[in-house]
Amino acid sequence: MEMLRGGAQPKQTYIKRTRTGRINIKAGNKVELVTKWTIAMLAVLTIMAFFFFDYTGLQLERAITETAYNLKTMFLEPTLSHFSWGEAFHQIGITVGLGVLATVIGAIIALFLAFLAAENLSKPWISKSVRVVVAFIRAVPTVLWVLIFAIAAGLGSEAAVLGMLFHSIAYLVKAFSESFEEVDRGILEAMRATGSNWWHMVTHGVLPSTFTYLLSWTFLRFEINFGVAVAMGAAAGAGGIGFELFMASGFYFDLREVGFITYAILIIAIILEIVSTQLKNRYFPAAAKN
């Protein structure tokens, strides 16, 4: 077995004797083999999919021309037509607020559930039970959870927040618990040897060692929730800039307004990324290095 630098997974050498007595030596590992076969299968399925498309009535030259014109209208002539600048900022504020609310509440709840899900901080049956539940919740897409709550609780911002909150908790429980499990066992064993109880180990041993990771995962989830809030603005009746985008594209069919809203969403996403990076650099310098 050949050890690789940088902590990479070592390559395994497979030796196989053939019927003729010759020995075939093959280097690699199972992960590389599975990855290669997966990529090959996806490539074959992608190519096969093109043969099953219905190309009836397709005029390729006209389609390319009209698509280029629509893109030119959207991104080179953006403008507001059906609402004012003040309303635009108000709708953006609603979308950001939905993302913040779902992320903050979800991170707080997920933090306590992650203590139960971590194998080094909880009993095995409790850890497995929590992991199974959050795995089921996480397997259902966020959009579907939002639609489920929209049916159960009615259209509105409540359904959007509940749907994003549900999936955010499951997402962050997995991320937080795995961060807790990365804590050096020697630290926990040393604290147990000095008579520390469970809560003392969590507050003085686990959280200080993993806080930068928890912060990074929370910021990442907030970016995801912002994108979901935009998409769910119309689907769940939550309002926000996503609802205006739906109206401009599906109701008014105003390509110039679609372009303006797209630019606004892109600018807000960039601003949020810059703000989160600056906060981490100023108050948590160690988090910015991860």
Residue with tokens 């902590």: 7
Query: What whole-number distance in Å separates Cα of residue 241 and Cα of residue 247?
Result: 10
Instruction: Tell me the pLDDT tens digit for each residue of 95-139.
Output: 888 889 999 999 999 999 998 998 888 888 998 999 999 999 988
Tell whether 185 and 257 lie within a shared domain: yes
Tell whether 47 and 89 lie within a shared domain: no
Tell whether 26 and 165 lie within a shared domain: no
> Is residue 8 predicted with pLDDT exceeding 50?
no
pTM of the model: 0.73
Single-letter amino acid, residue 8: A
Tell whether 16 and 96 lie within a shared domain: no
Query: What whole-number distance in Å separates Cα of residue 97 and Cα of residue 59?
Result: 44
Range of the domain at 174: 84-288
Instruction: Tell me the pLDDT tens digit for each residue of 257-271.
Output: 888 888 988 898 888
DSSP class per residue in 213-268: HHHHHHHHHHHHHHHHHHHHHHHSS--SHHHHHHIIIIIS--HHHHHHHHHHHHHH
The CATH number of the domain holding residue 185 is 1.10.3720.10
> What residues form DSSP beta bridges with 28?
12
